[in-house]
Structure 1
Amino acid sequence: MLSRLPDRLAADVIARRLQAITARRYDLPVLSSTQGTVTVPATVSTTLPGRYGLLSRGGALAQVGEILDVSSDRVTRELVTRTAKVAGQRMSWTGAIHASSDQLAGTVETVDLSTEGVPCRAWVIAPREMSTRWSVHMGGLGADARSSLRSAEVALAAGQGCMVLGIHRRRRHGFGVLEVGVIRRAFSTLRDRGATSVTGFGWSFGALAMLLAHRLAPDPLMRAFVLVSPLLDWFASAAVAAAAAGIRPAVLDGAVAIAEARNRYNVPWFRGALQLDALPWPADRPLAIPALLLHSRGDQTNPFETTHRFAGSHEEDVTLIELPNAPHTLEWNANEYAVTQAVSAFLRTQ
């Protein structure tokens, strides 16, 4: 059936399958809760050290902290903050720990960076002391923008202003090409605000989009990357997701073949051929700017092996820090002190 789809739908087929397979689930029951504690089932994620969030379907976020008690089937943790009732609810365990951008140390305003096909509202967080050094933070496919506040908090502490992109779910996808338009608008906005350098923070799919922006629409403001649990190989990540959902490889291969046959995207600034096996960056092309990659072998969404290969192909520009095993993007939370120290040191050199 996929082989009979029009070429213009090829990108949508793969991206929607990937997004549907990895869609957030609200299936974690809160077994009990008191004024300062919360008890949930014990899983690989809920028994990791660090700070995490419990997210409700309505968007309310409760921050949980240290483990107070753990058994074979349940774990009780400190309940640090909450904005709504959690007891008896079915929630989602997340790496997001900030209920809103107002919790960060800076002045926040919201700007509209929407482009054709990509609705986006962004938080612009100015540091307490005026700076010409900025960073742009982009999360994963369909991710809550609050998840990127983890990296924004570190960048602010390092003296950078922050722009956090909130790209809404939509029906149209383009392997990161469409998102490049938003990133271009972000850079233009920051240039108008006096920025002289920008660090691109990319989480998962956001890493692919940042690299693709540097490749297709390079901007002299872009001086460095910090990439977390990066999506660096569409084939590898789609194959992992498809296997987890029981989707036959032939079905996925058919969609990929259609997408490869398509040469152009209907966006005003991009008219080049799209090579899926070279997304987001060809192995033989230097990055030309430094990049810090943070990843762990516990990621079951974007294989660590692709990150390791990418780093090996770009040794002059890339520093890879392999973190202890943790699920997708949670290696930041599980190793927060080490990550903060590494990112802060990296930013000081830029």
Structure 2
Amino acid sequence: MRLRFAALAATSVLGTGVATLAAGRYAADAALRPPRPRNDGGSRTTAGFEGTRLTVHSHDEGRIAVTRSLAARLPGVYGLTGRGTHAVVGQVLEEETAAQPRPYAVVRELRRIDRGRLSAGATVRLTPQVYVGNPGEALGAEYADVEIPGELGPLPAWFVPGDRNAWVITVHGLGATREHPLTLLPFYRRHSIPVLDIAYRGDAGAPPPLDGIGHLGNSEWRDLDAAIRYAVQHGAQRVILHGWSSGATMALHAAANSPLRDRVAGLVLDSPVLDWWRTVRALALSRGTPRALLPLVVRAVQGRAGLPEGRDAALVDPAKLTVPALLLHGPADTIAPWESSRALAAHRPKLISLHEIPHAPHAAMWNADPHGYEEKLRRFLTPFM
């Protein structure tokens, strides 16, 4: 709505041509501007989850009934977030039919309520984030708040110690925070692997981007490079980069371009953003941009973010990949096209192991199949442990 209003207002003042260009640039900024922290206690909306609003109808011990929709029927484990609320739901237990009292509801397992309360009539949204707070608050884990010297200023991070000399550095993606990677922290703790969970430019507590917008990993990867340097200086002999969404793209950039790339032993890539053209269009549409403005949005983003020219230009050159990678993705992703991941894996079949996860929204591959995801991850990491 705000974008449409801006376009109409600009048209009345400046004329159609100039107004359209101005609205296109405004929409481009809106598509890539880092989300602001919410002031109602809920989680930020992760890219790809904008259309997952649900109404709570009822809940009791271990069960919750929510609006029947495609989102409500997604298989797996998800967070539910709303005003001052965060809860976690599991599998679908039953779907009410027309012959039952509530033909409009889906009943899911209610695993826990972390924050607030779920009242009938409350509006909530699905999120791939299943923990809130720091590692101590969320999981009772020993951890340290650390500060990484970054290119634009200090970067906050959580360090969870372990016995291995190979560290995992986790990097969240579009619309998320460093709380999202906490989903895999129980797995890494079980295997005594140290974890450095970082914030980067645009995140709360980190320096803002110089131009105020995100670059889909094209510049943010230098903050990951700083994290690699920090890990090596503090005892890591090797690092494994685990990234989601644009964080996975950052991992690819760092593995190819970091001065310390010889210390990068492997990559875990969840829903990587590889086709920037389609991702920008999807982000713009999800934030209310009229379709008529999309070509201008793409052009504006390409120039402002310094992205490769051309619709088929890759964000990262696959020929530069020299370390093994586990790639987890699926065809239901509406933000980062699955086809691009298949093409990347086909280009480097000896290095990339591709695992398809169906019915998984963007950056929610673990949520859709926790057991399968962790088993693939365990097998991939065994040589490093």
Q: TM-score range by the shorter chain?
A: 0.7 to 0.9
Quote the residue 1:325 is aligned against: 359
Partner Cα distance (2:48, 2:329) in 1: 21
Partner Cα distance (2:49, 2:254) in 1: 26
Quote the residue 1:269 is aligned against: none
Unaligned 5+ runs, structure 1: 263-273
| Alpha-carbon distance, 1:41 to partner | 1.3
Quote the residue 1:185 is aligned against: 226
Q: Of 61, 79, 87, which aligns to 2:119?
A: 87
Partner Cα distance (1:2, 1:131) in 2: 57
| Alpha-carbon distance, 1:153 to partner | 2.8
Quote the residue 2:15 is aligned against: none
Query: Relative to structure 2, which stretch is displaced further, 201-210 or 49-58?
Result: 49-58
For residue 269 of structure 2, give the secondary structure of its aligned residue in structure 1.
strand
Q: 1:334 to 1:94 in 2, by over 3 A?
A: same
- Answer yes or no: is the 8 Å Cα contact 1:138–1:206 preserved in 2: yes
For residue 159 of structure 2, give the secondary structure of its aligned residue in structure 1.
strand
Partner Cα distance (1:257, 1:189) in 2: 31
Two-structure CA RMSD over aligned residues (Å)? 3.0
In structure 1, give the amino acid aligned to 2:234: R
The superposition leaves residues 177-218 of structure 1 with CA deviations (integer Å, 9 ceiling, x where unpaired) of: 432232122112212321111111110111111111222324
For residue 220 of structure 2, give the secondary structure of its aligned residue in structure 1.
helix
Q: Of 188, 195, 210, which aligns to 1:162?
A: 195
For residue 145 of structure 1, give the secondary structure of its aligned residue in structure 2.
coil
- Answer yes or no: is the 8 Å Cα contact 1:155–1:344 preserved in 2: no
Q: Does 2:269 match 1:227?
A: yes
Partner Cα distance (1:239, 1:99) in 2: 30
- Answer yes or no: is the 8 Å Cα contact 2:240–2:268 preserved in 1: yes
TM-score by length of 1: 0.83
| Alpha-carbon distance, 1:156 to partner | 2.7
TM-score by length of 2: 0.76
- Answer yes or no: is the 8 Å Cα contact 2:308–2:315 preserved in 1: no
Quote the residue 2:317 is aligned against: 282
Q: 1:50 to 1:256 in 2, by over 3 A?
A: closer
The superposition leaves residues 96-146 of structure 1 with CA deviations (integer Å, 9 ceiling, x where unpaired) of: 22234224474211123363557742111113xx22121011111230322
Partner Cα distance (1:40, 1:211) in 2: 39
The superposition leaves residues 237-287 of structure 1 with CA deviations (integer Å, 9 ceiling, x where unpaired) of: 123344565433421343155348x6xxxxxxxxxxx6356553214x141
Quote the residue 1:150 is aligned against: 183
Q: 1:344 to 1:124 in 2, by over 3 A?
A: same
Q: 1:209 to 1:319 in 2, by over 3 A?
A: same
Larger Rg: 2
- Answer yes or no: is the 8 Å Cα contact 1:158–1:348 preserved in 2: no
Partner Cα distance (2:331, 2:57) in 1: 30
Q: Does 2:97 match 1:63?
A: no
Partner Cα distance (1:326, 1:125) in 2: 28
The superposition leaves residues 35-56 of structure 1 with CA deviations (integer Å, 9 ceiling, x where unpaired) of: 4322211233322332211122
Quote the residue 1:139 is aligned against: 172
